[in-house]
């Protein structure tokens, strides 16, 4: 599977690894030339970053027996100032004598990224290289670590991968994490965002969704076989982490890790259309008028109750397609295309077990999010802080469980 992926779907940097073409692919780092075998590999995309924080991050990993693949990149349509700053970073990195870092240049003229592919392509380039190194026997671990340039790694970061897994067949694992900032307002915004995401994941878990997991790019470790099976990262300018895990979860469980927390700098950003940066910017704006955070809105708990009813109805339908689905749920599923899916599935001679698999592959993490958004039409968002204070104990405990995983 891995060999097939590398031959047919990997980016050119990975396909040419170890060949004479390597010199033309703008890869630098002594680690490419030596024969050292590393315990693991960490992929970090870097765009519009400054050298000193990144240098501190790379230095902190120097003794970890981890090879770092740093994909220094810029979209073709990026702000000229950001492009120039990224090129300065690239040139500075080339002056360093790291022996545990490979630098990939996708920021220089003629090498910049398609704006529509952005960070997804950057992560794919790095991860494809990591997969090629694993296939070549240069890495001992099957886990491809993923992170970002704004992360502070705790002591024992890579050791978490050696925890006894709950699921021996896990396709991905999620590191504990928390947003921080030296700016009090931004720090509080990061805390609210973490609470919102933990509340959402807990709501999915309470409803019985198999897609109840965090989806933050800087916290992921993906298994090499799962990565190859889903054909790597989607080439998207945002949401590549969500869509990768959405594909992986259809093949294998996604497992939260316990232990030291990854500290992620809370940064507002307009570099991507959606995600953490834009969300933090909106929270900061709301804190300007309500410093308590009480006006920051999140999903109504009734949305998750409706999700639970929808999942129950889908399970009953998978057992017996003659079962009628209650109108309140069926109209929301219809809006997501359930009739077309059900009609196509009814033409296949499959067992209830296979039908269950098909149902949950169809009603995946994306459709789950779309379902929750549809529920907002009748159950308006409400204050996150008040919602968390008034949750029933079982739900509140589940939020705490996922908050523990996210810091």
State the DSSP string of 346-390: HTS---HHHHHHHHHHHS-HHHHHHHHHHHTTTS--EEHHHHHHH
Pairwise CA distance, residues 211 & 197, whole Å: 13
How do the domains of the chain map onto residue ranges? 2-181+214-267, 300-380
| DSSP SS3 for 220 | strand
Closest listed residue to residue 8, CA positions, set 243, 172, 229: 229
Query: Which CATH superfamily does the domain covering 2-181+214-267 fall into?
Result: Spore Coat Polysaccharide Biosynthesis Protein SpsA; Chain A (3.90.550.10)
| DSSP SS3 for 226 | helix
Q: What is the pTM of this model?
A: 0.93
- Per the DSSP assignment, residues forming a β-bridge with 138 are none
Closest listed residue to residue 214, CA positions, set 204, 206, 227: 204
Pairwise CA distance, residues 356 & 352, whole Å: 6
| DSSP SS3 for 63 | coil
Helices of type H across 77-179: 80-94, 118-135
pLDDT in tens, the chain (407 residues): 999 999 999 999 998 775 545 544 567 777 766 788 999 999 999 999 999 999 999 999 999 999 999 999 999 999 999 999 999 999 999 999 999 999 999 999 999 999 999 999 999 999 999 999 999 999 999 999 999 999 999 998 988 777 666 667 899 999 999 999 999 999 999 999 999 999 999 999 999 999 999 999 999 999 999 999 999 999 999 999 999 999 999 999 999 998 889 999 999 876 666 789 899 999 999 999 999 999 999 999 999 999 999 999 999 999 999 888 887 788 999 999 999 999 999 889 899 999 999 999 999 999 999 999 999 999 999 999 999 999 999 999 999 888 766 65
């Amino acid at each position: 599977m891995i060999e097939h992926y590398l031959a047919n779907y990997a980016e050119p940097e990975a396909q040419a690894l170890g060949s004479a073409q390597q010199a033309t692919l703008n890869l630098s780092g002594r680690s490419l030339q030596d024969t050292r075998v590393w315990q693991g590999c960490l992929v970090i995309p870097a765009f519009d970053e400054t050298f000193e924080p990144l240098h501190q991050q790379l230095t902190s990993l120097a003794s970890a027996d981890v090879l770092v693949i740093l994909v220094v990149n810029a979209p073709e349509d990026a702000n000229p100032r950001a492009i120039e700053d990224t090129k300065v970073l690239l040139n500075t990195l080339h002056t360093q004598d790291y022996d545990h870092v490979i630098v990939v240049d996708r920021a220089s003229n003629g090498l910049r990224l398609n704006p529509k592919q952005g960070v997804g392509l950057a992560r794919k380039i790095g991860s494809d290289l990591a997969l090629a190194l694993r296939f070549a026997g240069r890495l001992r671990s099957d886990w491809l670590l993923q992170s970002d340039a704004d992360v502070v790694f705790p002591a024992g970061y890579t050791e978490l991968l050696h925890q006894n897994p709950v699921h021996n067949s896990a396709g991905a694992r999620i590191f504990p994490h928390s947003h921080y900032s030296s700016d009090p307002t931004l720090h509080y915004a990061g805390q609210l965002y973490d609470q919102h995401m933990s509340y959402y994941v807990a709501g999915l878990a309470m409803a019985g969704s198999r897609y109840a997991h965090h989806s933050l790019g800087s916290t992921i470790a993906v298994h090499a076989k799962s990565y190859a099976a889903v054909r790597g990262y989607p080439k998207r300018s945002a949401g590549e982490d969500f869509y990768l895990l959405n594909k992986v979860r259809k093949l294998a469980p996604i497992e939260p890790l316990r232990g030291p927390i990854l500290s992620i700098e809370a940064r507002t950003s307009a570099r991507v259309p959606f995600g953490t940066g834009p969300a933090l910017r909106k929270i900061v704006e709301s804190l300007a008028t309500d410093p308590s955070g009480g006006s920051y809105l999140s999903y109504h708990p009734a949305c998750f109750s409706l999700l639970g009813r929808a999942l129950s109805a889908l399970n009953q339908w998978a057992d017996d397609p003659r079962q009628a689905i209650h109108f309140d749920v069926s109209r929301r599923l219809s809006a997501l295309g359930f009739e077309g899916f059900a009609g196509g599935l009814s033409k296949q001679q499959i067992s209830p077990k296979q039908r269950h698999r098909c149902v949950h592959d169809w009603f995946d993490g994306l459709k789950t999010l779309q379902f929750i958004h549809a529920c907002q039409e009748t159950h308006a968002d409400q204050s996150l802080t008040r919602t968390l204070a008034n949750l029933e104990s079982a739900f509140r405990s589940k939020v705490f469980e996922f908050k523990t995983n996210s810091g």
